[in-house]
Amino acid sequence: MQCEFLTASSSLSVAVRDWISSPIAMAPHRPLLGAALGASALAAAPLFVAPSLPKASRSDTTEALQQSRPAPTTAAAGTAGVMVAGAAVASVGHARSRRRINKKLAAPRMAKVSMAAAKVGCVGIVGSSGAVGKEMLACLENRNFPTDKVRLFARRAAGSTVKSEKFGDIVVEEFSLEAAQQCEICLLAVSGDFSLEWSPKIKGGPLNTQVVDNSSAWRYDENTPLVVPEINGEGKCNAGIVSNPNCTTAVGAMALYPIHKKYKLKKVIMSTYQAASGAGAEGMQELEDGLATWVKEGAVPKPEFFAHQLPFNVIPQIDKFQENGYTKEEMKVTWELKKIFGLSDDVKVSCTAVRVPTLRAHSESIVIETEEPINPDDVRELLKNSPGVKVVDDPASLSYPMPLNATGQEDVEVGRIRQSVVFGDHGLEFFVSGDQLLRGAALNAVIIAEMAVKVRA
């Protein structure tokens, strides 16, 4: 019931993104356990996962299946900017909403980073066999990350070989401090406990190694920057440990920050629609299995992973309850937006976090009050020119953000933008959908690393 992936061995099918969002718009059943995608029309997959792993487990079959994953769009760092990778696979099947996602130039700040000629010798991914770890490697490839070498660390997958078009065959290693310190940058997709113990030891050393941590271990530490690179990356990516925000925070932040800069937030009220993937592979598996059993045997089995049945239900609890009656997932949004945006205590942020029976990508209904007068047209223009955001907001064509469309996209979709009938000309309401494995985790970490490379140059 947590948004983070807490163990290095946790695993989530990245293939899910692809079959949900493939051009034929169909979600083949139970890709984690079958070979439904074996005859996929989407060929030319980069074989970055070894065909067999030592131990046949749920995560192993996931990895094996990834061989049929469609090729990510390799982004060339050119003079004009960086192509947004992976966008080409993101379309849904319904005729009215089916469309090719326009590849667009990334916003200037991101472009500048990758345009830099700087380079590092090695990047390490600790927890490389987990859902986020795998996405991190995909992001390094897709974004043409300026390094020649990637080292992968994972406990159970150690010894297996991951094939990478850009970085060659990579033999997965057991984690060791010595090996980690042979990388200039280590991306951590591990538990908070692991990070608490090892991050301070990894950072520094002979190569002045930097840690980009995806857990919540360091997020609220006053000496550790908490970074969404497009928002507050400048001047913070030289730290020994840089922390990634919670996925729900990161998805909402992409739309909220440009608005805050121009209109100054006073209040943020958020209700979320969070996918099973936010709880990791087990959450997705339970949703898939529950629906399959319902179809085949006429019944949804008792839940084992989630506290309550997720198929045909919504669960208004994610992560543990706090003393104030909010869950930790909800308070993360409050705490992290304040830290990332540098909000004063006068700015109030609240969230209701709800799990819904979807597979991947989180959505958020957001109502804001601002200090300055605000209006939908100006905000649409503002967001169209903001990094990491795509405005999908055309009532006439029934276009608005939806998790199926946001899946596999680097950009967070923003739409349903309207003047708030509660806060009048100082208020706005809107809806966002974003791939929380990308913006809320792997992509965010990799862009931080890109900025770190630039700073190190």
CA distances from 192 to 127, 189, 219, 244 (A): 12, 9, 10, 12
Closer CB to a second copy, 142 or 405, in the complex: 405
325-344 residues near a second copy, rule: CB under 8 A: 325-326, 334
Q: How far apart (Å, rounded) are the C-alpha atoms in residues 244 and 233?
A: 11
Closer CB to a second copy, 18 or 184, in the complex: 18
What is the full DSSP assignment across 267-283? Answer: EEEEEEEB-GGGG-HHH
Q: How far apart (Å, rounded) are the C-alpha atoms in residues 97 and 39?
A: 26
Least separation in angstroms between CB 282 and a second copy: 16
Residue 247 annotated in active site: yes
Q: Which stretch binds a second copy (CB under 8 A): 123-131, 175-183, 242-250, 352-360?
A: 352-360
Residue 362 annotated in active site: yes
Least separation in angstroms between CB 432 and a second copy: 10
237-266 residues near a second copy, rule: CB under 8 A: none
Q: What does DSSP say about strands 362-370 and 389-391: parallel, antiparallel, or unpaired? A: unpaired
Closer CB to a second copy, 192 or 376, in the complex: 376
25-54 residues near a second copy, rule: CB under 8 A: 25-30, 36
Contact flag: residue 356 with a second copy (CB under 8 A): yes
What is the full DSSP assignment across 397-449? Answer: GTB---HHHHTT-SSEEEEEEEEETTTEEEEEEEEEEE-TTIIIIIHHHHHHH
> Which residue in 179, 264, 292, 456 binds a second copy (CB under 8 A)?
292
> Which residue in 359, 383, 443, 453 binds a second copy (CB under 8 A)?
359
Closer CB to a second copy, 206 or 298, in the complex: 298
Active-site choice (3, 122, 139, 362)? 362
Active-site choice (247, 260, 351, 426)? 247
As given in the structure block, the two tokens for residue 115 are 């345009």
- Least Cα distance to 170 among 152, 182, 153 occurs for 152
187-226 residues near a second copy, rule: CB under 8 A: none
Residue with tokens 């937030």: 265
Q: How far is CA 415 from the centre of its chain?
A: 19
Residue with tokens 């940058």: 185
Q: Which stretch binds a second copy (CB under 8 A): 126-134, 173-181, 185-193, 289-297?
A: 289-297
**201: phi > 0 → left, psi -120 to 50 → alpha, else beta; which?**
alpha
Contact flag: residue 7 with a second copy (CB under 8 A): no
Q: What does DSSP say about strands 185-188 and 210-213: parallel, antiparallel, or unpaired? A: parallel
> Which residue in 44, 296, 345, 346 binds a second copy (CB under 8 A)?
296
As given in the structure block, the two tokens for residue 167 are 């970085």
413-442 residues near a second copy, rule: CB under 8 A: 415-423, 429, 431
118-177 residues near a second copy, rule: CB under 8 A: none
452: number of Cβ within 10 Å: 26
Q: How far apart (Å, rounded) are the C-alpha atoms in residues 195 and 7?
A: 10
Q: If binding means CB under 8 A, how many residues of this protein chain bind a second copy? A: 78
> Which residue in 149, 192, 303, 456 binds a second copy (CB under 8 A)?
303
Closer CB to a second copy, 207 or 356, in the complex: 356
Q: What does DSSP say about strands 241-243 and 210-213: parallel, antiparallel, or unpaired? A: parallel
Q: Looking at the annotation, which residues are catalytic? A: 247, 362
